[in-house]
C-alpha cells in the first residue's frame, strides 16, 4: 500500500522558462512530483498514462489551446482537477473557464500562495475521487484484501464487515477520520486498523483528551520549549511530533475545551503548529483520527463543539454499531474472552452453566464489548470451581426480565434512590451519590464502575477529582 496518494502535478505551458520557474516554486514548497509539458499536443497522452493528481495549464497556447483541451480533459478524466493559468485578467474568460469545468483560475505572474492554496484544494478533490472509485470496487467485492489487519476484531456481523471494507477503501488517504459509537464498542481497534491499512510508516500514537484542560492539551499535543512555563526545565516534543509519518488517534475528542478545539482546527487546516514558548513553525504530516461517543449535533447546537472542526474531522466517518445491534457476535466474544482471561489468570478455561450463558447472550450490554470483557474476567478471577454460574456475574438473572432483554447484571437489590436530602437534591448531589454507589457495587473497580455509569474511565476520574 502507498503511504499516501502521490501528488503528481502536470504543468503545461509553451514557455519553457516559465515552466522551470513554476517547477522551482513547487519544489521549494515540498511538491516534488512534477511533470512538465511544453507542447499542448502532449497533454492527453501524458494523462493517459495515469497517476496525475492535478493539472496546471496555460490558457493561451498554440494549437490545441487550453480552451480546446479543457473540455476533452474534463470528459476523459473527470477526477483530475484542472487549474487554468493566463495573463488575461478578464472576467468573461474566467467565467468561461469555470463553466467548461475548470477547477480554478489564476493569473500570471503567478502568486505562490494563491497557487499553493488552489493546488491543495485540487489534491483533496483528486484524493476523494480516487477514494470513491476504490470504495465502489471494495464494496462490490466479496473478500477483504488484507483480512489479517482485522484479526483482533472478532465479528460475523454484516455491518462490521462493511466497516472493514470501508477501512480498506480509505487506505492510502491522508484525510482525517471521525469514529463514533457508544463507549466500549472498539473505536480504538478500528482506528488501529485504519492506520495499518493505510501503510503509513510512522507510528500509531493514541491520546485520550478527556480530562485535559486547554494548557495540558497543548503541551501534550505540541510539546514545549525549555522555560516556556514554570516547571518546563527541559524541552519536550509533543505527541504530534512522535506521530510524524504515522497516525495520531484522539479519543474522547468531544470532551475538548473551546481553546483546544481552535488549536486542533488550525493543525488540521494548516498541518503545522508551534511548540509552547517557541516561534518556530513545525510542519506535520501525521494523519488525525478522532473518536467520540458524543452527540455532535446536540453539542454543536448548544455551542459546545465547533461546526468547522466537526466537518474537518469528518472527512471520513465511521459509526460502530453497539453490541446489542450485533447480537450474533456475543457467543463468539464470550468464548474468546473466556479463553483470553483464563490465560491471563493462569487458569484452565471454565465451562459456563446453561442459564448463565443464556443470560449473557440475552443482555443488552450498555457498556458494549468492554463491559462483556470485564464481566468475564471478573467472573473467572473470583471463581475457582471450573464452572461459571449466574452467581459469578454479580446478580445476573435469567427470569422474565431476560426474555425482555432488560437484564441488570450489576443490580444491587438493596440500593434505592431515596429522598434523604435536607432539600430537593441538585444534579451534582445526585451525580455524586450515583458515582459512590457505582464504586461500592463494583468494590472500587473504576473500570467496571465507568462501564456501569456509561462513561469512560478518564471521565470518571475527572468527576472524582472535582468532587
User: pLDDT (tens digit, 9 = 90+) per residue, 382-427?
Assistant: 888 889 988 888 544 444 443 333 344 434 333 334 444 555 667 7
- Measure the CA–CA gap between 320 and 106, rounded to whole angstroms: 43
Q: Does the domain at residues 9-135 carry the CATH identifier 3.40.190.10?
A: no
Domain boundaries, the chain: 9-135, 155-321, 324-403, 427-466
Looking at per-residue pLDDT, the higher value among 439 and 287 belongs to 287
- Average pLDDT of span 157-162: 90
CATH architecture, domain defined by 324-403: Orthogonal Bundle (1.10)
- Measure the CA–CA gap between 299 and 417, rounded to whole angstroms: 29
Please determine whether the domains at 324-403 and 427-466 fall in the same fold group of CATH.
no
Provide the grid cell at 228. 516556556
Q: Beta strands 9-12 and 34-37: pairing type?
A: parallel
From the CB of residue 241, how many other CB atoms can be counted at a distance below 10 Å?
Answer: 18
Q: What is residue 141's predicted lDDT score, i.e. its pLDDT?
A: 58
- Average pLDDT of span 306-319: 93
Looking at per-residue pLDDT, the higher value among 133 and 301 belongs to 301
Pick the CATH number of 427-466 from 1.10.10, 1.10.3470, 3.30.70, 1.20.140: 1.10.10
Q: What is residue 182's predicted lDDT score, i.e. its pLDDT?
A: 94
Q: What is residue 283's predicted lDDT score, i.e. its pLDDT?
A: 92
- Measure the CA–CA gap between 82 and 85, rounded to whole angstroms: 10
pLDDT at residue 12 greater than cutoff 90: yes
Provide the grid cell at 409. 447484571
State the chain's mean pLDDT as an integer: 85
Q: What is residue 417's predicted lDDT score, i.e. its pLDDT?
A: 45
pLDDT at residue 277 greater than cutoff 80: yes
Give the three-state DSSP class for 130. Answer: helix
From the CB of residue 308, how many other CB atoms can be counted at a distance below 10 Å?
Answer: 12
- Average pLDDT of span 263-277: 91
Please, which pLDDT band fits residue 137 given cuts at 50, 70 and 90?
low
Please, which pLDDT band fits residue 142 given cuts at 50, 70 and 90?
low
- Average pLDDT of span 305-309: 94
- Measure the CA–CA gap between 177 and 194, rounded to whole angstroms: 9
Provide the 8-state DSSP code for 276: B
Q: Name the CATH superfamily, with its identifier, for domain 155-321.
A: P-loop containing nucleotide triphosphate hydrolases (3.40.50.300)
Q: What is residue 261's predicted lDDT score, i.e. its pLDDT?
A: 95
How many Å is the Cα radius of gyration of the chain? 28
Please, which pLDDT band fits residue 459 given cuts at 50, 70 and 90?
confident
From the CB of residue 45, how many other CB atoms can be counted at a distance below 10 Å?
Answer: 9
Q: Are 188 and 456 contacting, i.e. CB atoms less than 8 angstroms apart? A: no
The alpha-helical segments, DSSP class H, found in 285-442 are: 296-301, 307-313, 330-345, 354-362, 368-381, 400-403, 427-441
pTM, full prediction = 0.60
pLDDT in tens, 37-89: 999 899 999 999 888 989 999 988 888 988 889 989 988 888 889 999 988 77
Amino acid at each position: 500500500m502507498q503511504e499516501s496518494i502521490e501528488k503528481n502535478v502536470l504543468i503545461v505551458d509553451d514557455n519553457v522558462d516559465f515552466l522551470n520557474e513554476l517547477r522551482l516554486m513547487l519544489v521549494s514548497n515540498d511538491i516534488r512530483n512534477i511533470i512538465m509539458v511544453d507542447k499542448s499536443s502532449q497533454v492527453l497522452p501524458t494523462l493517459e498514462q495515469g497517476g496525475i493528481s492535478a493539472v496546471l495549464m496555460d490558457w493561451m497556447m498554440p494549437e490545441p489551446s487550453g480552451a480546446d483541451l479543457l473540455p476533452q480533459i474534463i470528459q476523459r478524466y473527470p477526477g483530475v482537477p484542472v487549474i487554468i493559468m493566463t495573463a488575461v485578467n478578464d472576467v468573461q474568460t474566467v467565467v468561461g473557464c469555470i463553466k467548461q469545468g475548470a477547477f480554478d483560475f489564476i493569473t500570471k505572474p503567478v502568486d505562490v500562495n494563491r497557487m499553493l492554496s488552489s493546488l491543495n484544494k485540487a489534491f483533496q478533490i483528486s484524493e476523494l475521487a480516487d477514494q470513491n472509485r476504490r470504495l465502489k470496487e471494495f464494496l462490490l467485492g466479496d473478500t477483504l484484501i488484507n483480512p489479517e489487519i482485522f484479526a483482533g476484531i472478532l465479528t460475523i456481523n454484516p455491518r462490521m464487515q462493511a466497516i472493514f471494507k470501508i477501512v480498506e477503501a480509505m487506505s492510502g488517504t491522508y484525510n482525517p477520520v471521525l469514529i463514533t459509537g457508544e463507549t466500549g464498542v472498539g473505536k480504538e481497534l478500528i482506528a488501529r486498523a485504519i492506520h495499518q491499512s493505510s501503510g503509513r510508516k510512522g507510528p500509531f500514537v493514541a491520546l485520550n483528551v478527556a480530562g485535559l484542560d486547554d494548557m495540558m492539551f497543548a503541551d501534550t499535543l505540541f510539546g514545549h520549549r525549555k522555560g516556556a512555563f514554570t516547571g518546563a526545565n527541559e524541552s519536550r516534543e509533543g505527541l504530534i511530533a512522535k506521530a510524524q509519518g504515522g497516525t495520531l488517534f484522539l479519543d474522547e475528542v468531544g470532551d475538548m475545551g473551546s481553546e483546544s478545539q481552535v488549536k486542533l482546527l488550525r493543525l488540521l487546516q494548516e498541518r503545522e503548529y508551534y511548540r509552547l514558548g517557541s516561534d518556530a513553525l513545525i510542519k506535520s504530516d501525521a494523519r488525525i483520527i478522532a473518536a467520540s461517543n458524543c452527540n455532535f449535533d446536540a453539542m454543536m447546537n448548544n455551542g459546545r463543539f465547533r461546526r468547522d472542526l466537526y466537518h474537518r474531522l469528518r472527512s471520513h466517518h465511521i459509526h460502530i454499531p453497539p453490541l446489542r445491534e450485533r447480537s450474533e457476535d456475543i457467543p463468539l466474544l464470550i468464548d474468546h474472552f473466556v479463553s483470553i482471561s483464563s490465560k491471563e489468570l493462569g487458569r484452565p478455561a471454565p465451562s459456563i452453566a446453561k442459564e448463565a450463558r443464556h443470560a449473557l447472550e440475552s443482555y443488552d450490554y450498555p457498556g458494549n464489548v468492554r463491559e462483556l470483557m470485564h464481566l468475564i474476567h471478573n467472573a473467572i478471577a473470583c471463581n475457582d470451581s471450573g464452572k461459571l454460574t449466574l452467581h459469578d456475574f454479580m446478580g445476573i438473572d435469567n427470569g422474565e426480565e431476560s426474555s425482555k432483554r432488560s437484564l441488570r447484571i450489576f443490580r444491587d437489590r438493596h440500593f434505592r434512590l431515596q429522598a434523604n436530602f435536607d432539600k430537593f437534591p441538585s444534579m451534582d448531589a445526585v451525580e455524586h451519590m450515583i458515582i459512590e454507589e457505582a464504586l461500592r457495587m463494583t468494590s472500587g473497580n473504576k473500570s467496571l464502575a465507568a462501564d456501569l455509569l456509561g462513561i469512560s474511565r478518564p471521565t470518571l476520574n475527572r468527576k472524582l477529582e472535582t468532587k
